[in-house]
Amino acid sequence: MTELERVLALVEIQQLINAYCMAIDNYDFDRMEDLFAEDATFDIEPDPKIMQIPVRGRRAIREAAEGRHHFIHSTEQHRHATCNTVIELLGDGQARAKSLLLTTLLVRATGALTMRGTGEYRDRFAIRDGRWKFTERKLVLDLLGQWRPDGT
């Protein structure tokens, strides 16, 4: 891989991570679905009981996200922000990354804004149909609302 190919891969993967946050927060489920490989998985650890996990397959990931958002979007607005992303190119069209996540929650009726959750995305990627796509998206939670992994 040339230096230019390496830099392009890093930029494309970062754009993929960013596109996920924009798509999920703007309820663009067509776009979100397109970011995943057909056989991708989505998981959350520990299980916060907000959806059945793990989810396997691009269409199932979309349906799980869409179902969750249709339930909450009329009263709340969530925003996902990822930062401190470290991407590792593994060769043969494979890569992995870690990103920190911060989610906020806006209650539409009151205007109250709170931190909803924090965690770390642990992602795997592959080139499929000439584009980088998620093959695995795993969220390891530190905090979700009043819920904490240690039960406190």
**Domains of the chain, earliest start first:** 3-144 (3.10.450.50)
Among all chains, which residue has been given the structure tokens 């920190």?
A: 100
At 78 the pLDDT is 83
- pLDDT < 50 stretches in the chain: none
Q: How many CB atoms lie within 10 A of CB 73?
A: 13
Report the amino acid identity of residue 13: I
How many residues would you count in the chain? 152
By CB neighbour count within 10 A (0-12 exposed, 13-18 middle, 19+ buried), where does 30 fall? exposed
At 50 the pLDDT is 80
pTM: 0.89
